[in-house]
């Protein structure tokens, strides 16, 4: 791509191609820094820095007053991890692997918040269109944990009378136009002999595999927080300190949603952006826990 093969003719990419989010970013770094083996790490560091920065911005309510409780759903979004992997921390330190999708989804949430608040419609819709296009053309993960929940929450708020017709239309049209433009873009790629993406086969995890999947989920979560003490000796104090942020988050949500009625009340008391994050977390967890993923080989 850095040498002009924009559509990556002759290349075979995974089902999530990361074509615009990560591959284009790495090609730009190649042009800037040369073909350095550290480029994937540089890009992932950039995306993680963007994730932290956008998270701080989202921790400010639309009234521009700081509220630490608003940060908790954002932290949950940062914690979206591929629960079907053993070493989930690898998606943070190496690209391409979803961290870029998390970053631009948070950017999309910032501007979606503007639309929910009735501010800066044109600019916010344009940025949401670009973010949606990047996701559609690169990583289905972003559609599952961001765009799908965004459309659902927008529809929910619209029918509850909490979102004006104008705001709902701007959100829906931005995402729809991105989907439409992505179809045109992919058609052009095929017509110019561009890259082909592998097919993804999915199935529900067998019942007898549920205990193993549960253990892998716990290990993956602990690994993400740097506190995977399974099979390790020593450093108990260090692992304990690393667990504190996770335990605080779990404790907060345990107090808030100990029953179904409390969970329902908590969800509907949240602002639309937090609702998007919570639904995305549920989708991510269910997909990671109950699904088997496999790339269909040629």
> Exposed/middle/buried for 239, CB within 10 Å: 0-12, 13-18, 19+?
middle
Please write the tens of the pLDDT for every residue from 266-277.
788 888 888 898
> Exposed/middle/buried for 122, CB within 10 Å: 0-12, 13-18, 19+?
exposed
Residue 206 binned pLDDT confidence (cut-offs 50, 70, 90): confident
CB 192 within 8 A of CB 8: no
According to DSSP, the β-strands at 199-204 and 291-296 are antiparallel
CA distance 188 to 183: 9
Q: Supply the pTM of this predicted model.
A: 0.85
Please write the tens of the pLDDT for every residue from 81-130.
655 565 666 777 777 788 899 899 999 999 998 898 888 889 999 999 99
Count of CB atoms situated within 10 Å of the CB of 116:
26
Residue 78 binned pLDDT confidence (cut-offs 50, 70, 90): low
């Amino acid at each position: 791509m850095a040498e002009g093969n924009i559509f990556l003719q002759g290349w075979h990419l995974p089902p999530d191609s990361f074509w615009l989010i990560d591959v284009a970013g790495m090609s730009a770094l190649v042009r800037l820094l040369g073909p350095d083996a550290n480029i994937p790490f540089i890009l992932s560091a950039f995306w993680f820095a963007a994730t932290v920065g956008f998270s701080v911005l989202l921790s400010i309510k639309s009234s521009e007053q700081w509220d630490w409780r608003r940060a908790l759903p954002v932290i949950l979004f940062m914690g979206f991890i591929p629960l079907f992997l053993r070493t989930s921390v690898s998606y943070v330190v190496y690209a391409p692997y979803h961290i870029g999708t998390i970053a631009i989804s948070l950017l999309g949430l910032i501007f979606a918040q503007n639309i929910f608040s009735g501010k800066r419609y044109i600019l916010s819709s344009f940025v949401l269109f670009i973010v949606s296009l990047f996701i559609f053309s690169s990583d289905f993960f972003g559609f599952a944990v961001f765009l799908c929940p965004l459309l659902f929450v927008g529809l929910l708020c619209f029918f509850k009378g909490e979102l004006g017709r104008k705001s709902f239309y701007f959100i829906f049209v931005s995402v729809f136009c991105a989907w439409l433009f992505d179809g045109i873009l992919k058609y052009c790629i095929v017509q110019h002999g561009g890259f082909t993406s592998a097919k993804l086969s999915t199935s529900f995890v067998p019942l007898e595999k549920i205990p193993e999947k549960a253990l892998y989920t716990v290990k993956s979560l602990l690994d993400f927080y740097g506190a995977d003490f399974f099979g390790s000796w020593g450093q108990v104090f260090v692992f304990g300190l690393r667990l504190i942020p996770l335990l605080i988050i779990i404790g907060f949500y345990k107090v808030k949603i100990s029953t179904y009625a409390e969970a329902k009340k908590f969800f509907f008391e949240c602002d639309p952006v937090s609702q998007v994050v919570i639904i995305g977390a549920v989708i991510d967890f269910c997909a990671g826990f109950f699904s088997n993923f496999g790339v269909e080989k040629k």
